[in-house]
Structure 1
């Protein structure tokens, strides 16, 4: 099942995002290599600076999805003000398996 992580950065924490980015990318690359990551990328503010993240993963259930969200170095560094984990149904423009 797919799950979407809707993550909102804490205000004034761009430095935390930038400092933690290499570890975050390494984490996402591992999820991608494992076939767990579907897509990911930052939300942007009006100036084009990242201020949150959207990550979509394949997970067995909500507990497994939450564990993946909490394993992200951004989460562990305290970057996020909020993290919503929601089941997701990809309907349009889904690539063929």
Structure 2
């Protein structure tokens, strides 16, 4: 199953996000190598600066997806104000369909 993690940064967390980015990228790279990452990328504010993330994971349950999200260095560092985990279906332009 696919799960979308909708992550919203805390106000003023940009520098913490930038400082933590190398570990975050390494985490996503590992998930990708394990076949658990469908895709990911940042949300942007009006100035084009990142202020959240969309991460779509392959997991067996919402609990497993949430655990993967909680292991993200951004989550551990306190970048996110909130993370919403939602089951998701990739309907259009799915390369695996």
Ranges in structure 2 where 5+ consecutive residues have no aligned partner: none
**1:18 has 2:18 as partner:** yes
Deviation for aligned residue 1:37: 0.3
Ranges in structure 1 where 5+ consecutive residues have no aligned partner: none
What pairs with 1:1-97 in structure 2 (closer than 5 Å)? 1-96=1-96
- Quote the RMSD (CA, aligned, Å): 0.7
- Alignment deviations for residues 32-70 of structure 1 (CA, whole Å, 9 cap, x no partner): 000100000000000000000000010010110110010
CA distance in 1, matches of 2:14, 2:71: 20
CA distance in 2, matches of 1:44, 1:3: 21
Runs of 4+ deviating beyond 2 Å: none
Give the structure-2-normalised TM-score: 0.98
CA distance in 2, matches of 1:57, 1:71: 13
Give the structure-1-normalised TM-score: 0.98
CA distance in 1, matches of 2:70, 2:30: 15
